[in-house]
Amino acid sequence: MVADPAVGPAGLTLLAITWALYFCLHSLLAATPVKAVVSARLPRLAPAYRLAYNGVALAALLPVLWLQWQLSGAPLFEMPVPVRLACDIVAIAAVAAFLWTLRWYDMGAFTGLRNEAADGSAGFTLSPLHRHVRHPWYFLALVIIWTRPMDAAWLVASIAITLYLVVGSHLEDAKLVDTFGEAYRRYRERVPGLWPWPGQSLSAAEAEGWMARHAGPGASG
């Protein structure tokens, strides 16, 4: 099925609201108070919370993506072939970088297949990308979404996702400050959150020193 290229304001507004509702649900379920309520009232289910959270997030995303596809239309502008090729290369590089960083993440805890330490005792690991940006997965996601062909519906989605990542990075920072305290505050002062910036990064030696004081298998997004 090919969607009608002429997407009206009503459809785009509905898409924006749908993305916003999804992000609200995603943030609500990830909030520490919600996890605390589940742990207090359903202690037997608490160990499986992360796994259930990921399942609900994935299931809730499917109708959003379906609507996104339904509203896809003609590109807002045509890009020359060299520019299109360059964008594809950058996006592929971002995907490859994402896969490369997985070795520094505790994927068992991230997916919910293994319980994560609630007190931060599992530690915090800085991947090479963490030396240059505090949230490398968010950064790579921004690279990918803004190098895709841009129709009206994808522009709405890109703006919504970008806003969510900006807000999400601040929420993630707050959680990490609660977990690691002054050490993370100093790290936050040295390294930008979403986009690498010249002169604002850690050397390899500095990163090794930071990890030596807070060793463990985990890494932030």
In a domain, 177, yes or no: yes
**218 in a structural domain:** no
Look at residue 193 and tell me if it is in a domain. yes
Successive 10-residue mean pLDDT values, the chain, 221 residues = 61 96 93 84 82 93 96 91 97 97 83 62 75 96 96 97 95 88 88 93 85 58 59
What residues make up the domain containing 73?
9-213
pTM metric for this prediction: 0.85
pLDDT at site 219: 53
Instruction: Report pLDDT for 82.
Output: 95
Has residue 165 been placed in a domain?
yes
How many distinct structural domains can be found in the chain? Answer: 1
Dist CA 105 CA 209 (whole Å): 19
The answer to whether residues 217 and 131 touch, using CB atoms and an 8 Å cutoff, is no
Residue 181: give its domain's CATH number. Answer: 1.20.120
pLDDT at res. 23: 96
- Position 26 scores a pLDDT of 92
Contact 216, 125 (CB under 8 A): yes
pLDDT the model gives residue 180:
82
Q: Is residue 1 part of a domain?
A: no
